[in-house]
Structure 1
Amino acid sequence: MAMDDALITERRPVTGPQVFGYVRHVTGGLARHAALIDCLADYCRRHELTLCGVFTDRDATLAVRSPAFVGLLDALELPDTYGAVIPALGHLGPKRIAAKRKRQIAATNTRLVVIRSPRPATGRAHSLSAGHDLQQLGGT
C-alpha cells in the first residue's frame, strides 16, 4: 500500500498556536506602526505562533476598555486561541491600567506573551501557567 504524501506533516502546512497582537501607537508615523507589526510578526514566526490579527489603539487618552483592547478581549474568547502578544508591557498602559488589563486577559484563560520585558533580578524569563502572564525574553 503506497503512502499518501499529503499525510506527511512536513509536506502539509501546519499552523502554530493562534495569537492576537495588541499595540498602542499614539505617536510616530506609519513607519513606526509598521515596525511594531513587523516585530510581532517576526516574533510569532520565530516561535511558531500564528498571528491572526493585530489590534491598535491610536487615541492618546487611555481607558481600560478602549475599542481596540475590547476587540482583543473578544478575539481571545475565540476557540483555540492561545493568547495575546505585545511588544512590551508599556503597550498595556501605565501600571494601574496595565494591571487591570492583565487581569482582563487572564480572565479569558489565555496567555499574555511579552516580547521585550524587563529582565527579572535573576536575569531569567518568568513564566506562569496558562491563564496568567507569560513573559518571555526575546528581542527585536
Structure 2
Amino acid sequence: MPPTASNSLIHSTEAAQPHINNPGHSGLLPALLKAQKQNGYISKPVAAEIARALQVPLADVYGVIEFYALLYSKPTAVRVIRICGDPACSIAGSHTALKLCVPAWVLALTKPLPMAGLWWSARHAWVCVTRHQRRW
C-alpha cells in the first residue's frame, strides 16, 4: 500500500512522541531525528506538527533542519555517502576516497546530488554510508 501524507505524518509524529512530551527547544533535535528515521526526511507537515507540539516557532524547526547536515527536508537517496572536505580529513586522504568514488559514478561535484547518493560537504568529518529505512 503506497504511503499517504496523513499516514506519513502520523507515523513520524508517533516516533517523535516521547520527545514531544517535553515541550520546548530541548526536545527539538531528538524529535526531528526520530521523525526523519521514519521516512528518511522531514516533510513540511511533519515539521509543522513538531513545531506545534513542542510549542516552538516553525522557523526554529527549519533552522535546526538546515543547520545540521544529517537532517533532510527533501527526500534523499537510500544510501548517502559523505566525504569530508575539512583540512584535517584532506591531510588524512579524504580526497583520495573522493577520486575513487567519482569515476565510478561519473558525477561532477559542483553541487550536492542527493538523488545520486553522493554529498560533498566540508561539514562532514568521516566517510560513511547511511541507509534510510523507509516504511511504505
Instruction: Please report the TM-score for the alignment, with normalisation by the length of structure 1.
Output: 0.29
Between Structure 1 and Structure 2, which shows a larger proportion of strand residues?
A: 1
Give the alignment's TM-score, normalised by structure 2: 0.30
